[in-house]
Amino acid sequence: MASTSLYPLVCPSPTSAGRVCGLRFIAGYRVVHLQGEGFREVEDGLVPGAHPRPRRQPCYGRGARRAGVAVRPGSGVNGAVAGTVGCWHHRVMPLPRQVTIVEVGARDGLQNEDVILSTADKVELIGRLVGSGIRRIETASFVHPGRVPQMADAEAVMEALGPSPPGVSYIGLVLNQRGLDRAMATPVDEVNVVVSATEGFSVANQGAPMSSVMESVEEMVATAKAGGLFATVTISVAFGCPYDGEVEPGVVADLAARLGAYGPDEIALGDTIGVAVPADVAGRLALVRDAVGDSDLRVHFHDTRNTGIANVYAALTAGVAVVDASVGGAGGCPFAPNATGNVPTEDVLYMLARSGIETGVALESVTETGRWLAGLLERELPSAIARAGSFPG
């Protein structure tokens, strides 16, 4: 017997029908008449009200093969467009009342800059950001100094900082067991363990194939947690790779499921080279959510193609409430050609504040810190708020 259910829909399909569908229904629902596991008919419409549990629809087509799920031929939007529709059913959740900003400017923001800041300047940068209300902040990267000389003073930075103030968490990024050992000898409160979604980036960024990295991650997470540290695992190049190209969403979901079994406190998806778009963000987060259950999720977007803010918003609608950002929009990856900085903290704060979302972070103070940092780096940083100012002024 047929049943009728209401499912929110995002369609990250390469076809024009999929794109139109994704835009049309991002804020609404699609009425799907189901019989068993197959379709009988699909009726378009926007329906306000409660959000039922999302589900993926079985289907066929080129867009679905890229997505790792199925897509069926559909009637398009209001009958105007025929072709592939569907791909992912994405629950458009209410925006969170509060979002945690993970400030990465002192690590990701500096690791690709031509100007190498002194230890004292890094410590002042971190102090300014904490004074602005930032409560989770990446303070150092425990990587080989020959590969990333901007981070060569990781231990010195942590020694100068000392234990974190009450309510503040210092984060160290690590790529391997050696990096973890170094981090745990300092006053960090958290570690961020990085795993690549592709072989090409794993070798370029970590100097090891994925299989070798994965063999060590489980032990690293266990060691960090046994030492009383909060452990995050970040999947880098989760949306696209500078060496291997497209990254299938199913690959990311499967990797997240494996990592989730290791027991990290948080799993992050990183758009390392800034190729993601909102529909892709929503779709991949839906698949990852299915794969990891109730594990906490976090997102990390680079703004290389000017989609960072939109991607943050898409992540919020998918239920994510922890967002990486970099003061001024500084940053980039030494091993990701043409990748520019992270989404600017100031711009994210402005968007969240105007959306009625609390962060506990003072926008004006962060903006002033971004301008101060730009002077040290001897270049203009890309933050739009730094240029245009907040509103109302």
Quote the Cα angle for 100-220-207, to 5°: 95
| Residue of 245, 320, 268 lying closest to 138 (CA atoms) | 268
Cβ proximity of 227 and 293 under 8 Å: no
DSSP letter for each residue of 329-349: G----TTSTT--PBPBHHHHH
Contact residues for 108 (Cβ-Cβ < 8 A; gap 6+): 138, 324, 326, 331, 332, 333, 342
| Residue of 88, 89, 117 lying closest to 105 (CA atoms) | 117
Catalytic residue among 11, 21, 241, 333: 333
87 in active site: no
Structure tokens that stand for 89 in this block: 């059913």
Buried (b) or exposed (e) across 160-193, using 16+ Cβ within 10 A? ebeebeeebbbbbbbbbeebbebbbebebbbbbb
d(CA 216, CA 202): 13
Judge if the upstream peptide bond of residue 392 is cis by omega within 30 degrees of 0. Answer: yes
d(CA 283, CA 176): 30
- Pairing, β 169-174 against β 190-196: parallel
Cβ proximity of 362 and 138 under 8 Å: no
Buried (b) or exposed (e) across 320-329, using 16+ Cβ within 10 A? bbbbbbbbbb
d(CA 133, CA 100): 11
> Locate tokens 């977007």: which residue?
301
Structure tokens that stand for 173 in this block: 């990024």
Q: Is 15 left (phi over 0), alpha (psi -120 to 50) or beta?
A: beta
Q: Give catalytic residues, as residue numbers.
A: 333
